[in-house]
Structure 1
Amino acid sequence: MKNRSDLPSIPQAAFDWYDEYAHGDIDRRTFIRRLSTLGVAGLTVSAVSSALLPNYAMAEQVSFNDPDITAKYIEIDAPSGHGKAGGYLVTPNKVTKDNPAPAVLVVHENRGLNPYIEDVARRLAKAGFVAFAPDALFPLGGYPGNDDEGRAMQKTLDREKILGDFTDAATYLKSQPITTDKLGVVGFCFGGYVSNQLAASWPEMINAAAPFYGTPPTADLQSIKGPLLLHFAELDQRVNATWPDYENALKTLGAQYEAHMYERVNHGFHNDSTARYDEKSAELAWQRTLDFFNQHLS
């Protein structure tokens, strides 16, 4: 949704309600009912909801058929999680066992491996990294094709087993002959939390973590070392409320971190499939992320 000039400005309340809906605090019916109370000239409930809900046709920046990369779905052993895990592996075509590249684990939001996250993995491969985006919903058959059902499915899974799947995915990446011994992780929303948690629980395995609007680790915080590159959205009250205590802990621990607050943008501003997307901030955050990985994983 890089260009929404066809719509009047969407009130901030609508973004806040969408955030509540996306994180399970209200159901879809309540979300739509609240939208109907806006009464903004030129905006209908249908127009607002279609702008806020994902349109994944808008999210592709790097094609599956890009000649510089190879993308495929794979299955791996995940003894720390659900026994088996699966996801989307994307490799630069120039990478071989004689010319390995650093790897980046990509962690999706709270709804499974949707097309936006797959595109993020392709963007990383296009930039020269071996990227793997596991699907937490793999034990249930994988991402179902829509976020509502995916969100409901992910809520039924044990979070510790999900973390185990991602940990084993990280181990898999590091063990591949086409990857170096350097591994980064980037995640969004729930994936931002997972990125923080992996950096805390497995500091020797994660060489650089770049969480986007993620909450702090819930365990092993005392072990976190960094480096961390943390991205926050100024209007994201829910996640931002957790940052002061997290930052104080990072300072106390002497962890290496860099944090950026992007002005006048909402939670999910990097996701270019909805009206929350802010092109300027998203591109700046992404370039910072690539520079960060190039610095710490090369």
Structure 2
Amino acid sequence: MLVKDSDFDSLVPGLPLSRRTFVGASLAAGFALSVRPALGQSVIQTAADGLVAGDIAIKAPDGVPVKAYWVQPAGKGPFPTVLVVQEIFGLHEYIRDVCRRLARQGYQAIAPNVFQRQGDPSRIASVPEILATIVSRVPDVQVMHDLDACAEWAAANGGDPARLGITGFCWGGRISWLYAAHNPKLKAAVAWYGRLSGASSEMTPKHPLDLVSALQAPVLGLYGAKDQGIPVSDVDAMREALTAAGKKGEFMIYPEAGHAFHADYRPSYRAEEAADGWKRLLAWFRANGV
């Protein structure tokens, strides 16, 4: 169900801020660098000409109109659909640009603001505070339901329900693994440096390594060997678990990359690895029916 902006402006004050750069040296729970605006760092900017794009709201099962960014090629669909899941920093310009990059490849892309019930990361100055006040309060089940609502909306608005994929970055990479175990209609997933293991909690009862037997779609995992929060041993364990369970999955570990190597607005960005990962993402989706 499509809801007008006026129905939910009170839920999330203000639109997402423009893309910003992040500087700092501390890592929190393997997620990302501290949030600080900076000038002078180049970013990728994908034009929207020839595309149809906008901010929408999709009513979730709990009745909340979830804000989302939607973009697809101009013209008649149906288009294969990719759900794009944010980092801990929210639905900012980098995630929107990723959606436009996908649309330029012929996809309908939808990125929901899955943190909107808990808060706005753009208003918080540090990673530890974002983790404590927002991320730790987001239930996995809520995110799964929000993504289901986006998939249903897509199918009714120019998307092809038979060609559904998902990709996510950092926090969203873990969610991509979870969604591959949640939605039997999903054709493929691509997880960018998503955490694979961790302590169970009320909000996050299971992690990807706990859900291998439940996976219903093939997953491509893109990781950095120098990621201080996700050890290569976790990636190796996931690879072995997939093989043992007879599940389809592939991994690419970039020897010189750390965390967030695709995030072109941050110092962690590595252009060569990001470009290679993007090519692998497109090939993975097309090889698996998305």
Calculate the TM-score normalised by the size of structure 2. 0.77
1:229 to 189, 196, 220: 220
Work out whether 1:20 is the aligned partner of 2:18. Answer: no
Question: 107, 111, 123: which one pairs with 2:89?
Answer: 111
SS at match of 1:269: coil
Map of 1:155 onto structure 2: 136
Q: Which residue of 2 aligns with 1:69?
A: 51
Task: Name the Cα RMSD after superposition.
Answer: 2.9
Does structure 1 retain, via aligned residues, the 8 Å contact 2:193–2:224?
Answer: yes
What does residue 263 of structure 2 align with? Answer: 271
Q: What SS class does the counterpart of residue 214 from structure 1 fall into? A: coil
Q: Select the structure of larger CA radius of gyration.
A: 1
Segment drifting more, 131-140 vs 155-164: 155-164
The equivalences for 1:199-210 within 5 A come to 199-202=180-183, 204-210=184-190
Count matched residues. 253
Moved more, 286-295 or 271-280: 286-295
| 1:150 Cα deviation from its structure 2 partner | 5.5
Match of 1:243 in 2: 235
Q: What amino acid does structure 1 have at the position aligned with 2:274?
A: A
Per-residue deviation at 1:175? 3.8
Structure 1 residues 238 and 150: alpha-carbon distance in aligned structure 2, compared to 1, 3 A threshold: closer
Q: Percent identity?
A: 27
Superimposed CA distance per residue, residues 149-178 of structure 1 (whole angstroms, 9 cap, x where no aligned partner): 765433333333223212322232234344
AA paired with 2:93? P
Segments of structure 2 that go 5 or more residues without pairing to the other structure are 1-22, 197-207
**Correspondence 1:285-296 to 2 at 5 A:** 285-296=277-288
Structure 1 runs (4+) greater than 6 angstroms displaced: 53-57
**Equivalent position SS for 1:252:** helix
Sort the Cα spacing of 1:145 and 1:119 in 2 relative to 1 into closer, same or farther, 3 A: farther
Change (3 A) 1:21 1:277: same
Q: Deviations over 1:85-110 (max 9, x none)?
A: 1210011113x2xx311000000112
Give the structure with the larger helix fraction.
1
Q: Which structure 1 residue ranges, 5 or more long, are not aligned?
A: 1-13, 29-48
Which residue matches 2:275? Answer: 283
